[in-house]
Amino acid sequence: MTDTQTLSASASLYERALKILPGGVSRNTVLRKPHPLYAHHGTGARITDIEGVERIDFANNMASLIHGHAHPTVVAAVTEQLQRGTAFSEGTEIEVRFAEHLVSRCGSFEKLRFVNSGTEAVMSCLKAARAFTGRPKIAKVEGAYHGQYDYAEVSQNPNPDNWGDEDAPNAVPVAHGTPLNALADVIVIPYNDTERALALLDQHKGEIACVLMDLMSHRVGLRPAEAGFVKAMRDWTEADGSLLVLDEVITFRSEYGGAQTWYDLTPDLTAMGKFIGGGFPVGALAGRADVMDVMDPLAKVVQFPHSGTFSANPITMTAGLTTMELYDQAAVKYINDMAVHLREGIEEVIHATGVKACVTGGGSLLRIHARETPPTNYREAFWTHEQRSKLTGLINHFFAAGITMINTCTVAMSTVLGESEIDTLLSALESGFAKWE
């Protein structure tokens, strides 16, 4: 048994965690070798761990903190609400006000419901689509992450050994024991490949409840969907009588009204989460009134009974509304301009060092790849052993230089990041690339 007295505070805490938590964690993304980082507190753009080490935060809790840590306006609003209560069996005014605000931001939002996570938001969208259309199947993009619902998680992490032919991608389970019937009801389509995607969808006309799509999927390479591909998906669903469901859990931050405003597009439903909660667990689904009304408990026939004990709790609603009011048009422009500045800096470092790398992204999200050309789909974005080694080494290099990033070498900007933090990252990137040679 290791003598915990000789270990760092983090190593000692991880030893305790291993005894009571599978793998020592409650979410796998916090793992790193030899042990996770344990945060003590965060302020603005920086996190201080339990060892007292401060780092610049470019991960922002997996893109969920748009204003960084402990924003004083959000803290003040939540503190005031805490004194009035954290949750009630009754409704609260703040739920209505927050819903009104979100609906006002996006033209495709007619009605909205709150839930407690992005996973739950996507799950509810799929169930609503089934209830509305009376159809069992969904279609989704290969490699796209949509949370942990059996149907939504199909083929989120296939590999060359199991992903099958490009003309007919396999429906690959993530969790062992996933029912075969769930796999059979998911049609996997390639990203940005309109011809192949339409051919696969055509094989299931009249059976599909919805096409589920992320307009800039992180795992597929964080590259915005091509306009022609998006239009084809919208046109096909309208002709088929199925729905188009957008997962904007991450991408809604990209513009004031979400990434969907990049396109001439009106989806039927949109799932949201992460940053709209202001640092608290949250999810929401919004869209066409007639589709959303499948959840209406006052209807003669309730097609999709829907509820949740902590849905629309006043703490999350207060933090979310305060955060989103702060995230106005000016704030969106600032954070996106900072992301452009960072992207241009990364491209300059790539050019100066001559490494085989590229950067993708949009809005306030960026991802570095260990390949010369940006990937157009999941199979191109899939890491080879060499790429994994380089990018893992780069992440560790950033960490040692006092910078945290998402473990795919992805940046999620916050409004409190500025020129000095960007300069620090670019300097670390240059010295990190030197280790690739």
CATH number at residue 290: 3.40.640.10
Per the structure, the complete domain to which residue 261 belongs is given by 72-326
Q: Please state, in angstroms and rounded to a whole number, the distance separating the CA atoms of residues 117 and 107.
A: 23
Is residue 352 domain-shared with residue 302, that is, in the same domain?
Answer: no
Question: Is 17 a member of any domain?
Answer: no
Q: Please state, in angstroms and rounded to a whole number, the distance separating the CA atoms of residues 353 and 348.
A: 9
Question: Is 7 a member of any domain?
Answer: no
Is residue 174 domain-shared with residue 143, that is, in the same domain?
Answer: yes
* Mean pLDDT, rounded, for 391-405: 96
pLDDT per residue as tens digits for the range 39-90: 999 999 999 999 999 999 999 999 999 999 999 999 999 999 999 999 999 9
Place of tokens 């709150």: 114
Is residue 244 domain-shared with residue 319, that is, in the same domain?
Answer: yes
* Mean pLDDT, rounded, for 362-387: 96
Instruction: Answer whether 285's CB lies under 8 Å from 269's CB.
Output: yes
Question: Is 11 a member of any domain?
Answer: no
Check residue 61 and give its pLDDT.
97
The amino acid occupying position 328 is D
Domains of the chain: total = 2
Question: Is 276 a member of any domain?
Answer: yes
Q: Could you write out the three-class secondary structure of 203-246?
A: CCCCCEEEEEECCCCCCCCCCCCCHHHHHHHHHHHHHHCCEEEE
Question: Is 24 a member of any domain?
Answer: no
Q: Of 302, 326, 350, which closes a domain? A: 326
Check residue 432 and give its pLDDT.
96
Is residue 379 domain-shared with residue 357, that is, in the same domain?
Answer: yes
Q: Please state, in angstroms and rounded to a whole number, the distance separating the CA atoms of residues 184 and 187.
A: 8
Question: Is 197 a member of any domain?
Answer: yes
Check residue 7 and give its pLDDT.
80
pLDDT band at 2 (very low <50, low <70, confident <90, very high): very low
Q: Which residues are catalytic?
A: 145, 247, 274
Beta strand pairing call for 111-115 and 283-287 = antiparallel
Is residue 282 domain-shared with residue 418, that is, in the same domain?
Answer: no
Question: Is 305 a member of any domain?
Answer: yes
Is residue 300 domain-shared with residue 290, that is, in the same domain?
Answer: yes
Q: Of 308, 326, 344, which closes a domain? A: 326
Alpha helices in 354-411 (DSSP H): 378-381, 385-400
Q: Please state, in angstroms and rounded to a whole number, the distance separating the CA atoms of residues 94 and 114.
A: 12
Question: Is 158 a member of any domain?
Answer: yes
Kindly tell me if the per-residue pLDDT of 27 is higher than 70: yes
Nearest residue to 277 (alpha-carbon basis) of 133, 143, 117? 117
Instruction: Answer whether 126's CB lies under 8 Å from 138's CB.
Output: yes
pLDDT band at 3 (very low <50, low <70, confident <90, very high): very low
Is residue 231 domain-shared with residue 309, that is, in the same domain?
Answer: yes
Mean pLDDT of the chain: 96
Q: Please state, in angstroms and rounded to a whole number, the distance separating the CA atoms of residues 30 and 127.
A: 30
3 state DSSP class of 353:
helix
Kindly tell me if the per-residue pLDDT of 98 is higher than 90: yes
Dihedral over alpha carbons 218, 220, 225, 231 (to 10 degrees): -120
Distances (CA, A) of 52 to 16, 25, 416: 20, 21, 21
Q: Please state, in angstroms and rounded to a whole number, the distance separating the CA atoms of residues 245 and 140.
A: 10
3 state DSSP class of 148:
coil
Is residue 88 domain-shared with residue 207, that is, in the same domain?
Answer: yes
Is residue 214 domain-shared with residue 136, that is, in the same domain?
Answer: yes
Is residue 262 domain-shared with residue 281, that is, in the same domain?
Answer: yes
Kindly tell me if the per-residue pLDDT of 227 is higher than 80: yes
Is residue 190 domain-shared with residue 300, that is, in the same domain?
Answer: yes
Is residue 171 domain-shared with residue 252, that is, in the same domain?
Answer: yes
Q: Of 326, 357, 379, which closes a domain? A: 326
Check residue 5 and give its pLDDT.
54
CATH number reported for the structural domain that contains residue 428 in this entry: 3.90.1150.10
